[in-house]
Structure 1
Amino acid sequence: MFKQLKEKWEVESNLQLILIFIVFSISGSGALLVRKLVFHLVDYTPDWPFWLTAIVYILTIVPAYQIMLMIFGTLFGQFTFFWKFEKKLLRRFGIKLDD
């Protein structure tokens, strides 16, 4: 399974793969902390309608997670991998960046 991931992601070593997993996990945990802070700041209550909760959640989690991927990816020496990852994601949203 790890061999397939390494080939798909064009990762050369097990250490690089481990660092990528660490960045994904730290970024995910960090985005949830940001969400908690933002929901506190906007005085969220469970009485909010689902559509409003979903909009605030998406506008909070998605950018926070992407920013944290780039920050932690850079700190862990994996900027190139995460920059390619971000460009691929942005292309799916119809945003093209020059290569």
Structure 2
Amino acid sequence: MIGSIATATMAPESVSFRITRNAEDLAETIHALSYRLVKLEQRLAALEIQLDHRNQEEPPDLASLDNVERLLNDCRNLLEIAPQQLAEAA
């Protein structure tokens, strides 16, 4: 009962102050969240650019790996042919 009397006798200025204070807190929270969102969007954009850059670098790397694979196959073929020729020559 004492709580209800205190609530009933609150001055309108006090209620207005609380509403204003809550609105300011909400505004600060929204500002902080907006700032974080902008930072996350910037990080995402940077990561996308990095990914695009890596994707552009892959074809020369793949071509180089293909050349190495061909060289390895050629070496294997030479190693297989050499013993056969030696055996045929003997």
More helix per residue = 2
- Structure with the larger RCO, 1 or 2 (CA within 8 Å, 6+ apart): 1
- TM-score, length of structure 2 as denominator length: 0.35
TM (normalized to structure 1)?
0.32
